[in-house]
Amino acid sequence: MRIAVAGATGRMGRAVLTALRDQTDLELSGALARTGDAACGQDAAVLVGGAPFGVPVTDVAEEVIAGCDILIDFTRPEASDAYAAVCARLGKGAVIGTTGCSPAMLERLRTAAQSGRFVVAANMSVGVTLALHLLEIAARVLPDADIEILEAHHRHKVDAPSGTALRLGEVAAGARGQRLADVAVYERHRQRAPRAAGAIGFATLRAGEIVGEHRVYLASPTERLEIAHIADNRQVFAEGALRAARFLMTSPAGLYDMQDVLGLR
């Protein structure tokens, strides 16, 4: 299977390139970077070391996507939006791990998925996917518990709360028949009032080189349940993305997430 990597020069792009070296059924077919990136024209191995891939880094998206079976994309929303449109037009699958996607972009992906194949997830980790599954059960079984979501990431991350934290909130709210937009609380420093019943609170940390931590607290007056996931290395997200790519190769057109990849629904 031919895999192209968008955002190849970024943190996650390099992690995917590294993960591809250990695969026997997957091969790198393209490495896509931003226009004018200094790595363009060089072998993709310059980004991760080791033996040459025989694949140059390029900024020509159409060419890279045309030459792959599946595009793995950890970039920015505006780039992912454009790449997804090309994938749909050329009949290619895409694994999109980009965070901060707008509702309008997600709606365009749903339309594109009528003829294309996409796995879209703010977090490709198998462990996070299991945490989401467990949270759905917990929020339903503990309908009156206060829910608070704490997330921590490296100092370079630009979106807050993280896409994973927001997804945790959506799952918890949905399990209770709510919309996250109606119950989310993102800041409290201006408030001088007790916690509202049914609210889902968020707290964000940005420091150092934290790969990713997410904790959900479900607290009642008599007990507290915590669901936590800690990523020790971003290779866990790359491995999940490769698993999603394999899933797409045998899937019909549609919009999927990691729960579909793991067979949890």
- Is 153 one of the annotated active-site residues of the chain? yes
Which residue in 92, 133, 153, 229 is the catalytic one? Answer: 153
- Is 92 one of the annotated active-site residues of the chain? no
CB-based contact 135:227 (threshold 8 Å): yes
**How many residues are given for the chain?**
265
Q: What is the dihedral of CA 5, 214, 101, 157, to 10 degrees?
A: -70
Helices (H), 142-216: 163-175, 180-183
Q: Is the dihedral of CA 204, 84, 115, 29 positive or negative?
A: negative
Which residue in 133, 154, 157, 189 is the catalytic one? Answer: 157
- φ/ψ of 253, rounded to 5, equals -55, 140
Report the distance separating Cα 106 and Cα 85, nearest Å.
Answer: 12
At residue 150, what is the residue type? L
- Return the DSSP state at 62: H
Omega cis (within 30) before 161: yes
Measured CA distances, 203 to 57, 77, 95, 131 (Å): 38, 23, 28, 18
**Catalytic center residues:** 153, 157
